Structure 1
């Protein structure tokens, strides 16, 4: 790969970027754009590429859950001579590369190879045309979500009597709204009553953590029997508040984020492990960087391994315990 000199250090520093191995001459330059810091998927991505035997220089650029920072991050990635950009999450992926409808809009990435990961619905959000053909010459990615039909089946396996599903969502994340609509349609098709409540925005236009508790109580008052997290980085970041609110209302919570179960915020998760999702994104990146594959010709890679995790301490706190059949296939944490 053609060597480039390291540049635009000031642009990277003002974004609070963290530059890590490797800085050798001739290394492939990869920008990792995150929404809430470098977590398991980010680490899995780096590990996969580091194990490839090629020299890699990673630059991590974190939006810190602030959409306003994303355009400047793209500028920094360009200035650093990035050979590839990894984007984490729906908001960041759209902020960097836009949607299919945004093509031709100035200020978006239309030339640097881009791999997205941890995107709840890349087709529904308009990032790609389909998982088989992205319709984006410079963009491909990974898909890590379990089909929501399986999510509802798991919920019913845990609580066969469930008839009313609840969900909290936040409008500042497109993926959260898309998931609300998807689950609403599926719940109706399966004869489930569905109540979705929006987290109120604060004076800065961001969802308010203080509104989680009253909205959870409102779900309980509406007759909700099981709560689904859906897709929300906000709720994941405010897992403690969510967990406390759910326990206070004795409501079981199913999350697509395994860490929420391990941390005691949710009762059960059905999820791909983020570290493995990151490695899958690394596989896509390696094809582009080292096999010279065209991103637009690569289908979105799908996770095929999912794990059920149950927190028995949460089960005890709310007085709802899993059936033996589910215990036999789940990983149990306390």
Structure 2
């Protein structure tokens, strides 16, 4: 017999240890509740959390809530977490995290969770977004998280290792998303020390304030005319969701794409990614969840960092762009044919 929380459809309840068949454990067997709040569905990070809990036989059930790109849903998730008395809430992405816990200045505001432990994942710059004070101490009793991003210096140096004469980087960003704007500023700060030029263009917004897919190709053409050689996705769930429009426009304009997400290489037309594997990020978040369920105070836990990254190169795109990696580069990258 399934436990169905108020407002939760039975088909949306995923139980640790029973994932994949839709079944939930008997009510008497489960003592902890983990709510996973996602932005674009239960992808590999979410699955990594679920599997870590299941494989480590943690006595908890995982309830997945998907905003599906709609920020208005988060307020309901906050209320639902309190109603079901969730033991831990896991958030995916900057939008979800800001909507669930707010900024440092929002502590004490009941519109956000400061009374339930929260573990964040896939936040490009939690310090810049004012979610945490630092990576060592979040400055919030109920909050800890994970770091999944390669340092931007590594990304720029990786491009130059691939193409030694690289000089001009481009970025498209979502002006409505703080993480997207902050990432542009972070990359811009490196232009002097690493000797490259950056052109960053905001995507056009529609009447509701959402970025428009139709603006990707025209903006990419502007970057091409400016002399951009590589375009970096930076941090943008919108561009990640519309990966084919983004990478396709770049390839059409003979611009190489560097992605922080490997699936843009394996499933679309990004040339290269330097990234932590999403599933590994989910496992790391699962470790944080386990620590909290075992009695650790979230605010006492540092934000855990992924320490292993993979280099992927799409050789079909390399052929289209006539931009092949040096032989020594091929010794450590994973080639996607």
1: CA distance, partners of 2:154 / 2:194:
12
Question: Which residue number in structure 1 is paired with residue 235 of structure 2?
Answer: 231
- Residue of structure 2 aligned with 1:240, choices 244, 247, 251: 244
The answer to whether 1:217 aligns with 2:213 is no
SS in 1 for 2:157: helix
2: CA distance, partners of 1:321 / 1:40:
29
Question: Which residue number in structure 1 is paired with residue 107 of structure 2?
Answer: 103
The answer to whether 1:203 aligns with 2:207 is yes
The answer to whether 1:41 aligns with 2:32 is no
- Residue of structure 2 aligned with 1:148, choices 152, 175, 182: 152
Q: Report if aligned partners of 2:4, 2:13 keep a CA contact under 8 Å in 1.
A: no
Give CA deviations for 1:299-323 in whole Å, capped at 9, x if unaligned.
0000000000000001111111111
Runs (5+) with no aligned partner, structure 2? 16-23
2: CA distance, partners of 1:275 / 1:318:
30
2: CA distance, partners of 1:271 / 1:127:
22
Q: Report if aligned partners of 1:7, 1:80 keep a CA contact under 8 Å in 2.
A: no
Question: Which residue number in structure 2 is paired with residue 133 of structure 1?
Answer: 137
- Residue of structure 2 aligned with 1:193, choices 197, 202, 213: 197
Q: Report if aligned partners of 1:258, 1:270 keep a CA contact under 8 Å in 2.
A: yes
Question: Which residue number in structure 2 is paired with residue 249 of structure 1?
Answer: 253
Question: Which residue number in structure 2 is paired with residue 293 of structure 1?
Answer: 296
Q: Report if aligned partners of 1:84, 1:112 keep a CA contact under 8 Å in 2.
A: yes
1:6 Cα deviation after fit: 4.8
The answer to whether 1:91 aligns with 2:87 is no
Q: Report if aligned partners of 2:48, 2:281 keep a CA contact under 8 Å in 1.
A: yes
TM-score under structure 2 length normalisation: 0.94
SS in 2 for 1:32: strand
Question: Which residue number in structure 2 is paired with residue 310 of structure 1?
Answer: 313
The verdict on how the C-alpha distance between 1:17 and 1:104 changes in structure 2, with shifts beyond 3 A counting, is farther
Q: Report if aligned partners of 1:17, 1:59 keep a CA contact under 8 Å in 2.
A: no
1:247 Cα deviation after fit: 1.1
Cα RMSD after superposing both structures: 1.5
1:17 Cα deviation after fit: 7.6
1:8 Cα deviation after fit: 4.2
SS in 1 for 2:189: helix
2: CA distance, partners of 1:75 / 1:68:
13
